[in-house]
């Protein structure tokens, strides 16, 4: 039994705490007491109210623990992770912060702590898969198609946001960086739409988003790499319309004598429109394609809301991948000073197999298809 | 030569003043001096700055004129028309106000003035056509499909507003009243979309809007009547999406600490998106179908921007129908105390023929097709 502190008890953080609690001594923390109370109702987990932006309190809180899971909101992630490294505790991080995690690599080596970042479903599982193939062959193509979608296709957006609509809107605005013929190229978000067929789902639409993250730097030897978001056909048209008409602009306009940011206004409207109801089903779909040496590997994932435990597929796929990684670190199977994203960890065949097994035990099944 | 005062020198009012000026003594008025200056630049028309909401000034201004054309903004229309009737001047009105014009009928009879209202393209020409057929047969079906559209189909809305976007948004919100099997029924705006084919244009999409106006009361013996708006396919989907997501709601939401009406916000965004550039072409398309006694009459109109005189088709079709009516009133061919909309005037075969001839001289051609 190890002592784990989980920072952030949101939707995913809670799922992580509940799973780890079955085998370890877990303390869940959050800034918001209500989130902790809700978690308490589900299981008898130790909780602690904690403001992670108070680094003094944070460092004090984590002392004595074997490992920290960092599941705080993205905007807090980088600084929280830095403080944790300074406190010399091993960390598995799924805060998906916008800054470059590899900037903390030198500090983590200096402090001799093992840090694994971006280890959810995507980024996370797709990075592990790429790392796995990259260790055994010359990869020349990588593509990750991924989406979290509601089962019910409700007009007009056919979409519900598992996280803040403002973050989704940001994904539809930030230019996408991808590799083409060995060079990083930048394309508009929502560009290059393609219909893609999925068993049990039918046709979805993919488009460019800026999701390669650490792969841009760690896998720069792969000439073609891209990440695309999946949505129901029609969603992209609606969002492109909003964007091109100016509804997502940051340039304030005057309405009723007040200067208003269209983007903030629209995020507010979408917040209501995109809220997933308590009893609404959702699913996570991902298709990772890795090519090289004449082989094509396709990995398909489809995971749905778990009604038994009331756990969303987004929490399951992100949270349990993180949990699997926690086990590998706690058992010292993965022990490497520095900051490692999934593509580095995935190069270890044993850990890759362990993670897939761990997910399989929780009914998250990746289908692997190899062709020539 | 008669003395005419044109109240309102906006896009349509100016076109009316310029046409009437060729044959009569015209004084154009507006609240806005810039509008009058712009008109002066085009022709040597007498102008007068006038605030039509100041009824004392209005009544003083119109004294000595033979006829007033009322082309003020809709929200001012009813009160302006009432003041004109009180001043005992004949009026041709195209202000298209939201109130029921027939409420002023008794007053107009009492004051012995001839008033013709809603005499543009639609309402206007379609009413004349219905009145024309209604005078000679038992009509059992009337449908008017009408739209003013930009020639260039620009993503995402494929639409430019010849008048305020707020007024167009109002059309997409106000429930449509129509006749079905002899009863007035109410359907949501944008409902019952249908594709309709037009020569030279291809496929347009029609949907219900609340456009029957006076016909609801004057033609209540016709069992089936409807008015539908025409747009390029795709426009309705976008507007329906905005409406159903809450972008057109009047219920204020809090953004950045301020209470904002989504509808006002969206009208502001659309104002920029829907502005017709100075050199952008537009057209007006209308199809009126009248059935009865086993006959089907279809009237088709397609009118485009006049590059020679820089006059939009919206100004041409609305303004010149109004001008034709002005001639009929000035020549006493139409002399009837009370408020008459087009369907009443159209019952006079001679005036109907005169108006079509007047429009034909200005290259506005209605194609009439009769089938059995």
pLDDT, tens only, B149-176: 999 999 999 999 877 788 889 999 999 9
Check residue A164 and give its pLDDT.
Answer: 77
**Which residues of chain B lie closer than 8 angstroms to A241, CB-CB?**
155-157, 238, 241
Contact A244 B156 (CB under 8 A): yes
Within 10 Å of residue B180's Cβ, how many Cβ atoms? 12
Contact B273 A246 (CB under 8 A): yes
How many residues does the structure list for chain A?
372
- The DSSP element (H or E) to which B243 belongs, if any, is helix B235-245
Check if A332 contacts B (Cβ < 8 Å). no
Check if B156 contacts A (Cβ < 8 Å). yes
Check if A262 contacts B (Cβ < 8 Å). yes
Helix (H, G, I), strand (E, B) or coil at A202: strand
Beta pairing, strands B25-30 & B3-7: parallel
Contact B246 A269 (CB under 8 A): yes
Check residue A166 and give its pLDDT.
Answer: 83
**Which residues of chain B lie closer than 8 angstroms to A193, CB-CB?**
none
Check residue B30 and give its pLDDT.
Answer: 97
Check if B353 contacts A (Cβ < 8 Å). no
Check if A270 contacts B (Cβ < 8 Å). yes
**Cα B180 from Cα B225, distance rounded (Å):** 7
Span B291-306, mean pLDDT?
97
Give the single-character DSSP code of B103. Answer: G
Check residue A256 and give its pLDDT.
Answer: 85
Q: How far is CA A63 from the centre of its chain?
A: 27
- CA of A272: which chain B residue's CA is closest? B245
- CA of B241: which chain A residue's CA is closest? A156
**Which residues of chain A lie closer than 8 angstroms to B245, CB-CB?**
156-157, 269-270, 273
Contact A264 B258 (CB under 8 A): no
Per-residue pLDDT at B314 exceeds 80 = yes
> For B210, what's the count of Cα atoms within 13 Å in the CB-facing half-sphere?
19
- Minimum-distance CB partner of A260 among B155, B241, B255: B255
**Which residues of chain B lie closer than 8 angstroms to A262, CB-CB?**
265, 269
Chain A 208-237, residues with CB within 8 Å of chain B CB atoms: 237
Best of B266, B270, B275 to substitute, by most chain A Cβ atoms within 10 angstroms, is B266
Contact A156 B273 (CB under 8 A): no
**Cα B171 from Cα B98, distance rounded (Å):** 11
B85: alpha, beta or left? (left if phi > 0; alpha if psi -120 to 50)? alpha
Task: Answer for the pair A84, A5: CB distance below 8 angstroms, yes or no.
Answer: no
- Minimum-distance CB partner of A255 among B237, B240, B260: B260
Check if A245 contacts B (Cβ < 8 Å). yes
Place of tokens 């289908």: A367
- CA of A273: which chain B residue's CA is closest? B245
The sheet with strand B338-341 has its strands ordered as B46-49, B25-30, B3-7, B67-70, B90-93, B114-117, B338-341
- Minimum-distance CB partner of B255 among A241, A246, A264: A264
Contact A268 B253 (CB under 8 A): yes
Task: Answer for the pair A5, A30: CB distance below 8 angstroms, yes or no.
Answer: no
Q: Which residues contact B150 (CB under 8 A, 6 or more apart)?
A: B158, B159, B160, B276, B280, B281, B282
Strands (E), B242-323: 253-255, 258-260, 282-292, 295-304
Contact B246 A157 (CB under 8 A): no
Band (B91; pLDDT cuts 50, 70, 90): very high
Within 10 Å of residue A252's Cβ, how many Cβ atoms? 15
DSSP per-residue letters across A59-109: HHHHTT-SEEEE---HHHHHHHHHHHHHTT-EEEE----SS-GGGGHHHHH
**Which residues of chain B lie closer than 8 angstroms to A255, CB-CB?**
260-261, 264-265, 268
> CA of A13 to nearest chain B CA: how many angstroms apart?
29
Check residue A205 and give its pLDDT.
Answer: 98
Task: Answer for the pair A157, A235: CB distance below 8 angstroms, yes or no.
Answer: yes
Phi, psi (5° rounding) for residue B346? Answer: -60, -20
Check residue A265 and give its pLDDT.
Answer: 94
- The DSSP element (H or E) to which B168 belongs, if any, is helix B165-173
**Cα B88 from Cα B141, distance rounded (Å):** 37
| Beta pairing partners, B208 | B228
Check residue B193 and give its pLDDT.
Answer: 98
- CA of A255: which chain B residue's CA is closest? B265
Task: Answer for the pair B150, B282: CB distance below 8 angstroms, yes or no.
Answer: yes
Check if A139 contacts B (Cβ < 8 Å). no
Give the single-character DSSP code of B256. Answer: T
**Which residues of chain A lie closer than 8 angstroms to B188, CB-CB?**
none
pLDDT in tens, A16-60: 999 999 999 999 999 999 999 999 999 999 999 999 999 999 999
Check if B268 contacts A (Cβ < 8 Å). yes
- CA of B234: which chain A residue's CA is closest? A237
Which segments in chain A show pLDDT lower than 50? none
How many Cβ pairs within 8 Å bridge chains A and B?
74
For A154, B150, B157, the CA distances from A237, given in Å and listed in that order, are 15, 21, 11
- CA of B156: which chain A residue's CA is closest? A241
Check if B241 contacts A (Cβ < 8 Å). yes
Q: Which residues contact B332 (CB under 8 A, 6 or more apart)?
A: none
Q: B224 burial class (0-12, 13-18, 19+ CB within 10 angstroms)?
A: middle
**Which residues of chain A lie closer than 8 angstroms to B269, CB-CB?**
245-247, 253, 262
Structure tokens given for B141:
């079906």
* pTM for this entry: 0.86
Check if B152 contacts A (Cβ < 8 Å). no
Helix (H, G, I), strand (E, B) or coil at A336: coil
ipTM: 0.79
- Minimum-distance CB partner of A156 among B244, B262, B270: B244
Check residue B23 and give its pLDDT.
Answer: 97
- The DSSP element (H or E) to which B350 belongs, if any, is helix B349-361
């Amino acid at each position: 039994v190890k002592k784990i502190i989980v920072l952030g008890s949101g939707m995913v953080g809670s799922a992580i705490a509940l799973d780890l609690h079955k085998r370890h001594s877990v303390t869940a923390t959050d800034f918001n007491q209500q989130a902790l109370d809700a978690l308490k109702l589900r299981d008898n987990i130790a909780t602690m109210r904690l403001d992670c932006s108070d680094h003094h309190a944070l460092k004090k809180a984590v002392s004595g623990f074997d490992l920290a899971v960092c599941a705080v909101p993205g905007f807090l992630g980088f600084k929280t992770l830095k403080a944790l490294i300074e406190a010399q505790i091993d960390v598995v991080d799924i805060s998906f912060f916008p800054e470059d995690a590899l900037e903390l690599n030198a500090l983590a080596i200096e402090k001799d702590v093992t840090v694994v970042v971006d280890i959810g479903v995507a980024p996370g599982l797709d990075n592990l898969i790429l790392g796995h193939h990259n260790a055994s062959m010359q990869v020349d193509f990588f593509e990750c198609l991924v989406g979290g979608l509601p089962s019910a296709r409700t007009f007009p957006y056919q979409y519900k946001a598992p996280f803040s609509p403002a973050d989704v809107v940001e994904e539809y605005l930030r230019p996408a960086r991808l590799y083409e013929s060995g060079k990083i190229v930048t394309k508009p978000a929502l560009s290059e739409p393609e219909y893609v067929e999925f068993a049990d789902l039918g046709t979805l639409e993919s488009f460019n988003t800026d999701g390669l993250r650490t792969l841009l730097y760690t896998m720069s030897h792969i000439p073609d790499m891209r990440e695309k978001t999946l949505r129901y056909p029609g969603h992209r048209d609606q969002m492109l319309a909003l964007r091109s008409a100016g509804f997502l602009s940051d340039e304030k306009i005057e309405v009723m004598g007040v200067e208003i940011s269209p983007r903030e206004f629209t995020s507010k409207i979408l917040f209501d429109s995109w809220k997933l109801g308590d009893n609404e089903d959702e699913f996570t779909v991902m298709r990772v394609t890795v090519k090289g040496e004449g082989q094509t590997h396709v990995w398909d994932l489809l995971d749905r809301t778990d009604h038994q435990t009331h756990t969303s597929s987004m929490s399951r796929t992100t949270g349990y991948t993180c949990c699997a990684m926690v086990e590998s670190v706690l058992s010292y199977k993965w022990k490497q000073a520095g900051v490692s994203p999934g593509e580095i960890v995935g190069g270890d065949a044993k850990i890759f197999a362990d993670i897939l097994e761990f997910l399989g035990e929780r009914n998250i099944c990746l289908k692997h298809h190899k062709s020539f």
